[in-house]
Structure 1
């Protein structure tokens, strides 16, 4: 299966995840722990790669990220640049 990048990134939501995490003062390790409690096996280094745009985010991960960060899935994928 060929994976395509969009605007040089492997996901749309990495920057938004970083913004929401910083706004909520959550470390990458804490976010990974919240994801794990919700049933998503993810480590801190994967959060870092997602935020840099070098890792794909699955639909179920996106759903749990939105819950863990208190934002909508739509906001996570919005490219308007506003928080």
Structure 2
């Protein structure tokens, strides 16, 4: 599968995920653990890569990030 870059990044939600996580004073490890509780198998290093834009974020992960971080999917997408 070919993953394309958008403005040099593999996702557009990483900056917003970091912002929401930091507002909740949650570590990357905590976020990964909460995602795992919701059924998404993800590790701390994957959260780091999402936040810096080097990891693709599949559509099925966005609603879970939204739920765990208590923000809307539209907000994560910058809409």
Give yes or no for the alignment of 1:64 onto 2:57.
no
Q: Which runs of 5+ in 2 are unaligned?
A: none
Task: Quote the offset at 1:67 in angstroms.
Answer: 0.3
The equivalences for 1:39-78 within 5 A come to 39-78=39-78
The equivalences for 1:1-40 within 5 A come to 1-40=1-40
The answer (yes or no) to whether the contact 2:3–2:56 under 8 Å persists in 1 is no
The answer (yes or no) to whether the contact 2:20–2:69 under 8 Å persists in 1 is yes
TM value normalised by structure 1: 0.92
Cα RMSD over matched residues?
Answer: 0.9
Task: Quote the offset at 1:2 in angstroms.
Answer: 2.3
Q: Which runs of 5+ in 1 are unaligned?
A: none
TM value normalised by structure 2: 0.96
Q: Which secondary structure state, in structure 2, belongs to the residue aligned with residue 54 of structure 1?
A: coil
CA distance in 2, matches of 1:2, 1:29: 28
In the comparison of the two structures, how many residue pairs are matched?
Answer: 79
